[in-house]
Structure 1
Amino acid sequence: MKLQAFQGTLPESWTKFVLPEAKALVPALAHDCLAVGAADGERPLGLVIVRRAAGDETAHVVSLVVAEEVRRSGIGRHLLAGLGNLLAANGIRFLAVEYMAGDNDPGDVGSFLQSAGFAPPILGVAVWNGPLNIFSDLPWIRRMPLPSRLSVEPWSALTPEQHAAVRSGEGDWYPAILSPLIDTEGVDRERSLLLRDGQRVVGWMIVEPFDERTLTFTSMFVHETYRRKGRGIALMAEAFRRFLTDERYTEGIFCVEGDNADMRAFMHKHLSHPSIQENGMWRTFKSL
């Protein structure tokens, strides 16, 4: 078995060894991509592709595929070892992987990566996805109203003064990772919601289009003072009630940071439904 590196162009005979989500990267490999293939003579057996931003000491695996008939024979580990040697010789210090598995278990992929020298995977993001109409089957959504002194409005109603107040509160009364201002370009400003007590913003639910029928729920936060009174759950219920009458979007993806144990527990308890799939995006790395 021999290893071969590819830059610039991936030969047609190797393109079947690319994950669907990475197909856009081939056959013309971007300048920041490197592929390494394993072959038995002229017969391709497996391929790994990585990307690395200019100046970054970490390369990220975006695809690893081994021919089904030769899996569990060490080819995947051989590919990663050869790739690691090549990257290290070019000044790369770390090799990182993100992959999907169950939200409570890193699965067989995690076991394989650890056998190849990677650190134990950690849960980066827990993901729930399914049809929005399941909200009508969840009784808590109907019985969780907000008190009248709190108002819920579209994110587009955020005033410049409130925007400045939210910006200044980052790292103070809410963690930076839950900021509604991280990526405002993709935000659906009419379907995303802000929670106000008078003119003071005390929470939000941010959504972005994933495709023409699917919304991604990217961030939800309610100030601790109000969260202790159950206002976070009530805000979520209000958002879900609105989506029951939304004629455009029919599917939803709900993302929770892996280290947000309380929110993950809530989602497990309150968003459990036969039509909802529960997965996790796991992360691991290897020093080269």
Structure 2
Amino acid sequence: MLEIKLLTPESAKPYQTFTYQSFRKGIIDSAISPEIRPIVIGASFMGNPVGLVVAGCDRKGATANVVSIFVQKSFRNMGIGTALMNHLLDHLRSEKFLKVTIQYYELDHIQVLEKVLKKSGWKTPQLYSRYYRLELKKLVGFRWMDRMKLPSSYRLVSWGEVSKEEREQVKNLNEVGYRSYYDPSENEKAVVDTCSYFLKEKDTIIGWSIVERHLEDTLLYRVLYVREAYRDKGLGLVLAAKTAHGALESRIPHGVIQIVAANERMQKIYKRIIEPLSPVITPYRTCEKDLSS
């Protein structure tokens, strides 16, 4: 008999392998504060685990984010995924959550997830960004990298040459197009110093390119940002060229670049720089559901 219920850290232990490695410890850790403890819903058949949905939550902000949903292969196409999602949504409403979101990569078989979202009343998923994966060796001999010259009034400095205090000064800028994701100190521990640069006019930071490393063989170009007053001067291309040189010197074979779909300037850079390198493209979608009504 199928049973779907809210799991405690103790009862979630048999379900650990049903979610990503990065979440497995969190769903069974009873020491995590109740304010931020993930919400975990499990499905079992005859007492055996067959499915799981996990949502991270911000109870103060009354928002939740679905981070994983899984049903064992032999139990798919039975409506269990939709039942798990609906149980989660009902629980969130009972806990006075106002909104729930989900973000996901458009990989193989993603239509199964999108069918669950549609059946449980979510809005139509929207394209947020695309990830472009490429072989960095293709940059060798790419002439644009050496043609980009920096005007004399500006200078480029590496990540390590800029103090934490200086980086704090450009945090949460009130500028057109700025998102908190662009913060140069967003994930300091993963930053690759030899590929990440700040652009300065005298002692003022006016732009930056941040590269992170989360996998041994891959660099993630997390952000390239030029401050509002300095845009449309070709400075973003100079930052991109310097970053590309740093990536080549790193000897790491692959690079991944995320470009937000609404970022028109980066779309132009993509056309000029990235598209000729024939990258593998993975769309990244976002979806939300209003729980307040």
**Partner residue of 2:242?**
238
Asked if 1 retains the 8 angstrom alpha-carbon contact of 2:100 and 2:289, the reply is yes
TM-score (norm 1): 0.79
After superposition, the Cα gap between the structure-2 partners of 1:38 and 1:198, relative to the gap in structure 1 and judged at 3 Å, is closer
Deviations 1:66-85 (A, max 9, x none): 12233233211111111221
Mapped partners of 1:267, 1:89: distance in 2 = 45
Which residue of the partner structure matches residue 65 of structure 1? 70
Change (3 A) 1:21 1:242: same
Aligned pair count reads 283
Counterpart residue type for residue 283 of structure 2 = G
Tell me how far apart the structure 2 counterparts of residues 95 and 223 of structure 1 sit (CA, whole Å).
32
CA contact 1:47–1:79 (8 Å) conserved in 2: yes
Which consecutive unaligned segments of at least 5 residues does structure 1 have?
A: none
Do the aligned partners of 2:172 and 2:183 also contact (CA within 8 Å) in 1?
A: no
Alpha-carbon distance between aligned partners in 2 of 1:174 and 1:52, rounded to the nearest angstrom: 26
**Pick from 202, 209, 213: which aligns with 2:206?**
202
- Please give the alpha-carbon distance, in whole angstroms, between the structure 1 residues aligned to 2:131 and 2:7: 34
**Cross-structure match for 1:133:** 137
CA contact (8 A) 2:27 2:38 kept: no
Q: For residues 173 and 190 of structure 1, do their structure 2 counterparts lie closer, same or farther at Cα, with a shift above 3 Å needed?
A: farther
Q: Aligned partners of 1:169 and 1:63: how far apart in 2?
A: 29
Moved more, 24-33 or 91-100: 24-33
Residue of structure 2 equivalent to 1:8: 9
- Counting only pairs closer than 5 Å after superposition, residues 1-288 of structure 1 correspond to structure 2 as 1-10=2-11, 13-28=14-29, 30=32, 31=34, 32-101=37-106, 109-136=113-140, 138-158=142-162, 167=170, 170-172=173-175, 175-177=178-180, 178-182=182-186, 184=188, 186-223=190-227, 227-247=231-251, 249-267=252-270, 270-272=273-275, 276-288=279-291
CA drift of 1:118 comes to: 0.9
Q: TM-score under structure 2 normalisation?
A: 0.78
CA positional deviation for 1:56: 3.4
Give the superposition deviation at 1:198. 4.6
Contact 1:94 1:287 (8 Å CA) reproduced = yes
Shift of residue 136, structure 1, vs aligned partner:
1.5
Q: CA offsets per residue over residues 235-280 of structure 1, 9 Å max, x none? A: 2012202321224x44333223342133135325531367733223
Deviation, 1:169, is 9.6
Query: In structure 2, how many angstroms separate the alpha carbons of the residues matched to 1:25 and 1:276?
Result: 35
Q: How many Å apart are 1:109 and its aligned residue?
A: 3.0
Secondary structure, counterpart of 2:144 in structure 1:
helix
Superposed displacement of residue 197, structure 1: 4.1
Cα deviation for residue 63 of structure 1 reads 1.6
Equivalents in 1 of 2:285, 2:27: separation in Å?
A: 25
Structure-2 change in CA distance of 1:162 and 1:173 (3 Å): farther
Change (3 A) 1:48 1:108: closer
Letter in 2 for 1:25: G
Kept after mapping to 2: 8 A contact 1:126/1:264: no
Q: What is the DSSP-based 3-state SS (H/G/I as helix, E as strand, rest coil) of the residue aligned with 2:10?
A: coil
Residues 43-71 of structure 1: CA deviation (Å, up to 9, x unaligned):
43321122223423122222210122332
